[in-house]
Amino acid sequence: MAPAIWWIRRDLRLFDNQALSAALTAGDTVAPLFILDPAFDASAFVGSKRLAFLYGGLRALDAALQARGSRLIVRHGRPQEVLAQVMQESGAEVICAEADVSPFAKRRDARISERLPVRFMDGLTARPVRAIRKDDGTPYTVYTPFSRRWKESGPLRQVELLSAPDHLPSSPGLASAAIPDLSPPPELAPFAPGEAEAEQRLADFTFGVDAPIYRYAAERDRPDLASTSGLSPYIRFGMVSARRLASAAYAAMETARDGDARRGAEVWLNELIWREFYVNILDAFPHVRTGSFRSEYDAIQWDNDPQWFATWCEGRTGYPIVDAAMRQLAATGWMHNRTRMVVASFLVKDLLIDWRWGEKWFMQHLVDGDPANNNGGWQWTAGVGTDAAPYFRIFNPVSQGQKFDPDGTFVRSWLPELRSVPARHIHAPWLMTRAEQHAASCRIGVDYPAPIVDHGAARDRVMAAYRAVSS
């Protein structure tokens, strides 16, 4: 057999990799290839933290390949040109890659498929994209029936997953560029990239009778607790497979010691299925990348105040739960899911700023920024998407903080100017008297900003804007 090219895109792993498995079957040797597309530099949606994480993942993958007698080949250029060149240099007759669903990826892959022998494999999701459909073959646009049909396919088991190869026959003589070094300072990068780290995090979260997964249902909305898996950046770049995660969730459900523990594992599985749902939505309805799923909401008259937007981005709105979350995002490239909803609601429904501004900002800063899930989450919170929260559902930033960060632990960790504010005022510090502000060393309007909008008045304004296009 001739060599095969494993074109690595969002599957930086050796375990349970269907594209790698196909390449091993198709060729006598395999050339693991990653292409540094110039489109990375041109895209406003590509953030430096995410690129740093990606490049760190490539270095980890290269080390794993070298331990198996192979190595990663990195090339700069347009994918079609690079693939043709590597095919010529290596003598490869087939290219194997994991299929993607973004409009950009599908346009690119369609052009390449017309000229080169590429096989696109499943692997982006646990169930193949388009496998979960209604009886009439049309895509689901509501999560609950999608989830129900997804689960009817039966549990995913560890034994169904593909083993990582012990040895990888490589194609010799292929030159490789250096992997760019964009590593941020350690204090700004809480996620160590690579498949090994992903597997360790998964084990820490799911293994053992007292594993955090069993408390997930009860604690998942608390940004002040270490209650989530921390796996989202690894899922984003396929450093762990979606099937691997789903199989771990099913295993935890089967070994749970009681109903509450099983519920925790079930809720975590549901979150994985939400990801599958949004991937399928993006695949079937690509217009969501630029507009509302429910197109009537594209007529909303946004205020789009640039100064308010800058204040939101910088975490200076005067609402502590919002500001703490935005500063966490700027520092670490990550944000808790509950606070993602809170800050998104505040931008759209308190400041009346187009959800697409927030979506773009998140994609520029999130290590786990994913075109399908980021878009789906923003449209859900804005009330303009598929299976969306009703437009009249508006998160109150004060009550959200009081409910999910009751002692202010999360807020104080990111807003040092509020560290001495008593818990009863931590989510509404402007209610402190002058004496209380002095005692807390926190003068409102000086040490910490006053709220930029009144939440009640803002709610009335946004309701009017939505009603104008929904009636």
Show which residues are catalytic. 271, 274, 302, 337, 355, 378
Per the document, the length of the chain is 471
Helix 371-382 to helix 337-345 angle, to the nearest 10 degrees?
A: 50
Q: Which residues contact 159 (CB under 8 A, 6 or more apart)?
A: none
Phi and psi at 176, nearest 5°, equal -135, 140
d(CA 335, CA 274): 17
Half-sphere exposure of 451 (CA within 13 A, CB side): 21
Phi-psi sector, 104: left (phi>0), alpha (psi -120 to 50), beta: alpha
d(CA 89, CA 109): 21
In whole angstroms, how far apart are CA 400 and each of 53, 64, 164, 345?
A: 31, 44, 44, 11
List, in sequence order, every residue forming a beta bridge with 5; answer none if it has no partner.
31, 95
- Residue 176: name the closest of 2, 367, 8 by CA: 8
- Residue 462: name the closest of 303, 276, 268 by CA: 303
d(CA 54, CA 321): 29
In whole angstroms, how far apart are CA 5 and each of 12, 84, 416?
A: 15, 11, 51
d(CA 290, CA 336): 25
Alpha helical stretches, state H, 114-213: 143-152, 195-206
The separation between CA 90 and the C-alpha centre of its own chain, rounded to angstroms, equals 35
d(CA 373, CA 232): 11
First-to-last CA distance in the chain? 64
d(CA 319, CA 347): 12
Q: Which residues of 160-198 are buried (b: 16+ CB within 10 A; e: fewer)?
A: eebeebeebbbbeebeeeebeeeebeeeebebbbbbebb
Evaluate whether 272 touches 249 at the Cβ level (below 8 Å): yes
Q: Which residues contact 173 (CB under 8 A, 6 or more apart)?
A: 89, 90
